[in-house]
Chain A
Amino acid sequence: QQQVKQSPQSLIVQKGGISIINCAYENTAFDYFPWYQQFPGKGPALLIAIRPDVSEKKEGRFTISFNKSAKQFSLHIMDSQPGDSATYFCAGSTGGGNKLTFGTGTQLKVEL
């Protein structure tokens, strides 16, 4: 099965700091890379997504950096806030977003 490897498994960041989560994929046919945010007891919610024809996408405090040659992409959360404390999943898919292949998740805790 084509995998998406995600790191770190958990992350603690001080309020105002930068949170960085990394993912690497194997399937070169992936053409859509979303990041999902999940709070305890809730379903995942789309945070931001990128296609491989761009190297960076920014939406507010959230930025995806994409390196096609290295088959890696990362999520940067600027000015991290306690409300950002959640589990973050990266994913990849083909064909305009059919089945999503998820990473194993990163538990982010933002401390005051």
Chain B
Amino acid sequence: NAGVMQNPRHLVRRRGQEARLRCSPMKGHSHVYWYRQLPEEGLKFMVYLQKENIIDESGMPKERFSAEFPKEGPSILRIQQVVRGDSAAYFCASSTRRDRKNIQYFGAGTRLSVL
């Protein structure tokens, strides 16, 4: 049973370009969470999605960032017109929410570098 798959693992973009980060949840998981980790800091929640729905986007910057989790295919975190401050590791987690534990399983992350 494959874990949470994120790609690419590393992404380099120049200022003003778009970054697309992909996340395939674990088999059977329909809940996806995105977190951002800045150097030497903890993970910060960005957005929580179910299939075709955004449940909680309270951690998403108001501009340039968007996320989706379509009926078919991976969840996508999109960052438009990237700036140097967007350089970070972006982690995706998935869960089943079938019990009270709601364990979130994390992928290996995408490390975004903005030049």
Contacts and interface: CB of A to CB of B under 8 A. Distances in A.
Is B a genuine binding partner of A?
yes
Interface string A6-47: 100000000000000000000000001010100001111110
Given A43-B108, A43-B109, A44-B91, A89 B102 contact: no
Interface string A42-59: 111110010100000000
Contacts of A98: 48, 55-56, 102
B54 interface: no
Contacts of B101: 32, 49, 96-97
3 A-B pairs closest in CB distance: A97-B102, A43-B106, A102-B42
A92 B104 CA distance: 12
Nearest to A104: B42
A41 B55 CA distance: 29
Contacts of B65: none
**In which size bucket is the chain B interface?**
20 to 34
B102 A96 contact: yes
B84 to A, nearest CB: 22
Contacts of B58: 99
Given A43-B93, A98-B55, 9 more contacts: A43-B109, A44-B91, A45-B106, A46-B103, A96-B102, A99-B45, A100-B33, A100-B43, A102-B43
Interface of B: 4, 6, 33, 35, 41-45, 48, 55-56, 58-59, 91, 93, 95, 97, 100-109
Q: How large is the interface on A (under 10, 10 to 19, 20 to 34, 35 or more residues)?
A: 20 to 34
B45 A100 contact: yes
B104 A104 contact: no
A34 B107 CA distance: 17
Given A43-B91, A44-B43, A105-B42, A100 B104 contact: yes
A96 B106 contact: no
Nearest to B111: A41
A105 B42 CA distance: 6
